Amino acid sequence: MTFTQRTSANHKLDKNFIYQLQKQLPELVPPLIALVSFLVVWQIFSWTPGATLPGPIKVVQDTWILILYPFYDRGGIDKGLFWQIWASLQRVAIGYSFAALVGVSLGIGIGVNKTMSKALDPLFQLLRTVPPLAWVPISLAALRQNEPAALFVIFITAIWPILINTAVGVKEIPQDYNNVAKVLQLSKQDYFFNILIPAALPYIFTGLRIAIGLAWLAIIAAEIVMSGIVGIGFFIWDAYQNNYISEIILALVYIGAVGLLLDKLMAWIQNLILPTEQK
């Protein structure tokens, strides 16, 4: 490629980038204004007499080392925020995967079997209303170890939206689809893969997106009351015990950012897999 061609290609890329930026600007301005306004109001309130929480400037000053060095590892639970979040994400990945596997499978079974649905629905409606923190003591008593108990709390919290949405998706399959399957005399396997799964997929992904947020919330809650484990939840509790309020606020910002990224990731996977007419 000649110098002229390279210059022309770079110019086109620059123009395309500027065009995309101009296109996204109207979408970016309102949230940026809201964020800046929130930070300004927060800072003003932190300057008032009797304020108990530090302002954003103080938070950055107090946690600058944690922000600059997220990868430090001094052994034990003394690790940077990257490793704290990574440990929590690993637990979420394991617990969430089991919840997705069991939730989708059981949801399909309930959706196609009315007797099973009637038998299990009252039990599921009872269990799904139990908050994540309420599962912590019983899981610790049953499993005796922090790590398995944390995974169980994630699993039992995340499974319900997956299970319920999957069951609803199966039950809501249009009768026309079932009629076509009968006319074509589809086998159970063909019906499952060509009718049931594609028709229920939007509902399944709705459950999966709700569940990933609940799983992230659950692990934070579980780690807060489980001592001696690496994780962002225990990091918050340890900071509270030592009255490091700025560290708590920084951790909350990171938790929110990770939760947002997890939701965006699930939305991207959903758009990647679902057909255009089902989006």
Tally the C-alpha atoms within 13 A of residue 242's C-alpha that lie toward its C-beta: 9
> Helix/strand/coil (H, E, C) string of 230-274?
CCHHHHHHHHHHCCCHHHHHHHHHHHHHHHHHHHHHHHHHHHHHC
Query: Which 8-state DSSP code applies to residue 77?
Result: T
Contact 263, 213 (CB under 8 A): yes
pLDDT in tens, 213-250: 999 988 888 887 777 778 888 899 889 889 999 999 99
Q: How confident is the model at residue 9 (pLDDT cuts 50, 70, 90)?
A: very low
Amino acid at 105: S
Q: What 3-state class would DSSP assign to 69?
A: coil
Report, as an integer, the average pLDDT of 259-277: 84
pLDDT in tens, 103-138: 999 999 888 888 888 888 888 888 888 888 888 888
Query: Cα 11 vs. chain centroid, distance in angstroms?
Result: 39
Amino acid at 65: I
Q: What 3-state class would DSSP assign to 184?
A: coil
pTM score: 0.82
> What pLDDT does 247 receive?
92
CA dihedral 195, 197, 203, 206 (to 10 degrees): -150
Q: Please say if the pLDDT value at position 14 is more than 60.
A: no
